[in-house]
Structure 1
Amino acid sequence: MNGGHDLVVVGSGAAGLTAAVGAAEAGLSVLVVEKAARLGGTTAVGGGVIWAPNNALMSTPDSPGAARAYLGTGRMSASEIAAFVEDVPRAIALLTRVGVRMRPLPRPDYHPDRPGAAHGRGLDQEPFDPRPWPGLAERIRPPTYFPLLTMSERDDRSAGPEVVKQREAGGVRTMGGALVGRLLVAALDRGVEILAATPVTALGHGTVRLGEETVAAGAVLLASGGFEWNADLRRRHLAAEITPISAPSNTGDALGLARGAALDEMTAVWGVPVITPPGDRYDGMPSGRMGNVEMTLPGSVTVDTTGRRFVNEALNYHDLNRAFAGRTAFLVFDRAYRERYPVAGSPPGAVEPWMVTADTPAELARRVGIDPAGLVATLGRFNAAARRGADPDFGRGANPQDRHLGDPAITPNPCLAPVAQGPFFAVPVHAGALGTAGGLATDLDGRVVDPAGDPIPGLYAAGNCAATLFRDGYPGGGATLASAVVRAYRVVRHLARGVSGAEGGR
């Protein structure tokens, strides 16, 4: 290890690697340190989509004005909105320039009824083959349960099991793993030093403590994960318990390292409902699987212990997760659904030990602790309307965002079918998180600020250890990575201005 660096980056997800590559391009010497044994953090196990309005790769028309109008319905300030809309195309340009390969993803925004909503603002990652770089595949955090398909391939069903098998055999990565792989190649090509299994134990004035060694740092970027795997921090800051499905190394270390820093949005999470088959583990920790698709598909309902539905099950997963609010909930489906769709990775038709089953809805309810009369009444009302393709109670399938993850073979509403063919099944569904979204407060340049709003010299933050740019909003698929890479881009720009002698800040 060299004695000192212009920039030390703590964390090797999209935020950290984007900043590392950009800073190296600007002529800075960069060290990336990752406490886990493998690189990539939660980025490497996620979907890899980046929500990027008005980017140069989009295949549909967009405009800064439309993006500003769309974001203006949330809690972001006018200056925060303007800065994001201006910088996100620039961040995408940086990624493409250094070799990240993306394609437009034809998905609707998560709030299609809001002014300025559009279709196709997400960017999907092209598959990445690590074989030309011996040893690189082994350095990246392995995938979880997602098959090795791109998001586009998942949506249009253009790739079958044989493609997945070929990619598995060759070590090919898709989604977030592909993004990490290409960023690592770009970083290594530009002379970035990268260390795994290297936790940061303390920050000093111009120094970073790595175990027993201290290295000099002109600046430090905290780009590690959130605190979703830290039970104490969850109890202290979150309104309800969650089931995390991110990298288990996300224990909130950055919050303790940045002494004197202000915190912001600490109740926010990147939420998603989760199904947790017993025995599902990742990195040795109990884990789960996103359950929003299962909740959207026709032939199912989600109810609480009263047997009543409490939400439009086809909502975007972030808002869908909010509706749980500490509820005990169950995905209830019938034989036709089980024969047609996978459930939490279980193939169609399989009946798993963790699926409770019964010949009638009333008996199913008694077996899992749901009020039988409530469930029977709910299914009676739901089924009558579902046969017409309607949901008068919650409007499931009424807009493009709902229908996107439905089954296009089911008409007139791809999200609705009766739950009527026995036997019947029930699976618990929990409030979950792709990561926490609150953390260190920063200014528009990514500088960590103290409670008075003054920047702490030489200290930056990006990624899930920093407070989300979107103020607990979730504008579209890929918002998590959008927040990460845009803030990383701003950090690089601010550092580069300092190197060139230009005045920093906006």
Structure 2
Amino acid sequence: MRSDDNREIAEEVDLLVCGAGAGGMTAALIAALEGMDVVLAEKTAQVGGTTSTSGGTTWVPGTHLSELAGVPDKVEDARAFLDSVVANRGGARLREAFLDSGRAAIEELDRKTDVKFVASAAHPDYLDGPGAAYGGRALAPVTFDGRLLSPQDFDRVRPPRREFLGLGGMMVGRNELGALLSPFSSVANLRSTIEIVGRYALDRLRYRRGTRLLMGNALVARLLHSLRKENVRILFEAGVKELIVEHGRVIGAVLEGPAGERRVRARKGVVLATGGVCWNRRIRERLFPAGTRDYALGPETNTGDGADVATAIGARFDDGGDSPALWMPCSSYRRPDGTLAVWPHIILDRAKPGIFAVDKNGRRFVNEANSYHDFAMGQLASGAIPAHLVCDAVFMRRYGMGMILPGAGNLRAMLRAGYVIEAKSLAELASKIGCDPKALAETVDAYNRAAASGVDREFGRGGTVVNRFNGDGEAGGFNPCLGPVGAGPYYAMAVRPADLASSAGLAGDEFGRVLGEDGEPIPGLYACGNDLASIFRGTYPGPGTTLGPAIVFGWRVAKHAAGKLKNIAAAA
């Protein structure tokens, strides 16, 4: 390990947290509640990182919120589920610590802060197996009124992706989309539309975007609101440049920003929560598969700073198990201003009846209704980068595809932008996407036979709980995920895997302490969030399985730094 060069240290605190995503903000908040003097250092001018642009769902088994929602979840069931999903990939001790502390972490946030969740009664785990849950484990952030923040702090919350904002700055929930797309179909839809759009119109008289915050934006705003109440100091535009080591212990860090360097001593430790390896070009080139290195959903400022400064003093870097990243299939196009519009295909189209995906040969390669991560893993396994989602005009009008929403009102504009391809016949479509027309025709015939019988013998589409949950049970077929592809015109949309979070990261123990190359904890150094290697070893068990561990390990890190985890049996 490198020793400190005795340059002057500007200030001293108990705990220095580097990075203001869900993990780092939770660590700072819990540390403050434990009476510690905390500084939260954020590289950018806004808090939230990847959390702000996410759905905000947080996977934590066995919480009191599942009981309040009427779908009580048991930790022992989640343990059996994770044992079946992760199997012998390693990391059991960290997963046990996660299961042991999840309930306590969520209860404390619920009781002592403004960080509020509600357990979803129906939001299944992404895989079937012993102990899998239909509801109760996926926690959704409660909608937050951004007007409770000061105008300055409201602007400090990183906004959602532009593609997910309506009317230039309005957030809309999944369950509200139908009403907004068909406001005059019922009195209830009209009332909902007036309330949502009216509130947004009033907001725009004073704010740059709507203050009705949902999903990941609500979670980040609630964390920021709570941090302000606890008077936690937040340093903006202060990225971590270097760790200060003295006699083998991390005693602080050098922060860097527009004003220059700032050296902070941390009596109880430094927490790395800088967002994972995301845009770290060196790590991407070494670990990421070909075809994925130029696409990521995290902020471009997430450049793997935590991994860099930690490995520079001898920390061990873990490749993440099955995959260095967790993936979403994404479509994209260039806007007139040159920026890239990206749409993650999460739940709105792939599982619906009447759409399928093909590789460069015009053949299906995966169960399209599987989770976004497993769909993308299918792309990687088969080399289908890009793959094309294919549907007919009936599907396009009914469900939309990607950024083309149900009703297909913007279809012509998206065709002009080159976002989607249209063809009168399957042969023409095959020519335009570069696959064998005979193979594509055979694929459609086989798919339609499966739709007629309700059984996909090739890939099992519609055969799992989450498949059927995201399908359309009202479509009238035998299988909610299978429906016929009819006459043209036909449409195709290219999708590529993009990482939504890191699986690879710093090796850590059950307390979130970073491990050295010798497997021993580096004194004074912690990691959480995407900086800590995934406890699920490259698998993706359910909705929110990045945010759940980020928050729980943020809580555990703070408790350990405060000396409060010594007697927890699972961590012994």
Q: Which amino acid aligns with 1:134?
A: S
Q: Is 1:93 the counterpart of 2:143 in the alignment?
A: no
Which residue of 337, 343, 363 corresponds with 1:308? 363
**Cα deviation per residue 1:12-65 (whole Å; 9 max; x = unaligned)?**
010001111100000001111111221110001101111111110013132222
Shift of 1:344: 2.1
Q: Which residue of 1 is the match for residue 5 of structure 2? A: none
Q: Which residue of 1 is the match for residue 125 of structure 2? A: 109
- Asked if the contact 1:124–1:151 (Cα under 8 Å) also holds between the matched residues in 2, the reply is no
Shift of 1:459: 0.6
Q: Which residue of 2 is the match for residue 149 of structure 1? A: 172
Whole-Å Cα distance in 1 between the matches of residues 341 and 525 of structure 2? 33
Q: Which residue of 1 is the match for residue 46 of structure 2? A: 38
- Asked if the contact 1:332–1:425 (Cα under 8 Å) also holds between the matched residues in 2, the reply is yes
Q: Which residue of 2 is the match for residue 62 of structure 1? A: 73
Whole-Å Cα distance in 1 between the matches of residues 100 and 498 of structure 2? 32
Deviates more, 1:160-169 or 1:369-378: 160-169
1:143 aligned counterpart, secondary structure: coil
Q: Is 1:394 the counterpart of 2:459 in the alignment?
A: yes
From the superposition, tell whether residues 154 and 166 of structure 1 become closer, same or farther in structure 2 (CA, over 3 Å).
Answer: same
From the superposition, tell whether residues 64 and 498 of structure 1 become closer, same or farther in structure 2 (CA, over 3 Å).
Answer: closer
Shift of 1:359: 0.5
Residues 54-453 of structure 1: matches in 2 within 5 Å?
Answer: 54-58=62-66, 59-73=70-84, 74=86, 75-97=89-111, 98-105=113-120, 106-112=122-128, 114-120=129-135, 121-135=137-151, 136-144=153-161, 145-147=163-165, 148-150=171-173, 161-166=193-198, 168=200, 169=203, 170-205=210-245, 206-211=251-256, 212-218=261-267, 219-242=269-292, 243-258=295-310, 259-266=313-320, 267-279=323-335, 286=340, 288-293=342-347, 294-325=349-380, 326-327=383-384, 328-347=386-405, 348-349=407-408, 350-351=411-412, 352-353=414-415, 354=418, 355-411=420-476, 412-453=478-519
Shift of 1:2: 8.1
- Asked if the contact 2:79–2:131 (Cα under 8 Å) also holds between the matched residues in 1, the reply is yes
**Cα deviation per residue 1:249-303 (whole Å; 9 max; x = unaligned)?**
211111111121001134421111111133299xx96352112432222211100
1:473 aligned counterpart, secondary structure: coil
1:72 aligned counterpart, secondary structure: helix
Q: Which amino acid aligns with 1:458?
A: G
Whole-Å Cα distance in 2 between the matches of residues 40 and 48 of structure 1? 11
Identity rate, percent? 37
Whole-Å Cα distance in 2 between the matches of residues 414 and 115 of structure 1? 23
- Asked if the contact 2:40–2:233 (Cα under 8 Å) also holds between the matched residues in 1, the reply is yes
Whole-Å Cα distance in 2 between the matches of residues 123 and 280 of structure 1? 38
Q: Which residue of 2 is the match for residue 26 of structure 1? A: 34
From the superposition, tell whether residues 497 and 156 of structure 1 become closer, same or farther in structure 2 (CA, over 3 Å).
Answer: farther
Q: Which residue of 1 is the match for residue 207 of structure 2? A: none
**Cα deviation per residue 1:458-492 (whole Å; 9 max; x = unaligned)?**
11000111101111121110001012011111101
TM-score by length of 2: 0.83
From the superposition, tell whether residues 334 and 45 of structure 1 become closer, same or farther in structure 2 (CA, over 3 Å).
Answer: same
Shift of 1:155: 10
Whole-Å Cα distance in 2 between the matches of residues 79 and 287 of structure 1? 40
Q: Which residue of 1 is the match for residue 168 of structure 2? A: none
**How well do the aligned residues superpose, as a CA RMSD in angstroms?**
2.5
- Asked if the contact 2:358–2:365 (Cα under 8 Å) also holds between the matched residues in 1, the reply is yes
Deviates more, 1:343-352 or 1:456-465: 343-352
Whole-Å Cα distance in 1 between the matches of residues 49 and 541 of structure 2? 23
**Cα deviation per residue 1:55-77 (whole Å; 9 max; x = unaligned)?**
10013132222111101111345
Whole-Å Cα distance in 2 between the matches of residues 406 and 235 of structure 1? 36
TM-score by length of 1: 0.93
Q: Which residue of 1 is the match for residue 20 of structure 2? A: 12
Q: Which residue of 1 is the match for residue 3 of structure 2? A: none
Deviates more, 1:5-14 or 1:228-237: 228-237
From the superposition, tell whether residues 505 and 494 of structure 1 become closer, same or farther in structure 2 (CA, over 3 Å).
Answer: farther
- Asked if the contact 1:126–1:150 (Cα under 8 Å) also holds between the matched residues in 2, the reply is no
**Number of matched residues?**
503
Whole-Å Cα distance in 2 between the matches of residues 280 and 447 of structure 1? 46
Shift of 1:388: 3.2
Shift of 1:91: 1.6
Q: Which amino acid aligns with 2:158?
A: R
1:295 aligned counterpart, secondary structure: coil
Shift of 1:164: 4.5
Whole-Å Cα distance in 1 between the matches of residues 484 and 140 of structure 2? 34
Shift of 1:137: 1.2
What are the ranges of 5 or more consecutive residues in structure 1 without an aligned counterpart?
A: none
**Cα deviation per residue 1:367-400 (whole Å; 9 max; x = unaligned)?**
1101111100100111122133332211111222
Whole-Å Cα distance in 1 between the matches of residues 401 and 568 of structure 2? 55
From the superposition, tell whether residues 501 and 445 of structure 1 become closer, same or farther in structure 2 (CA, over 3 Å).
Answer: closer
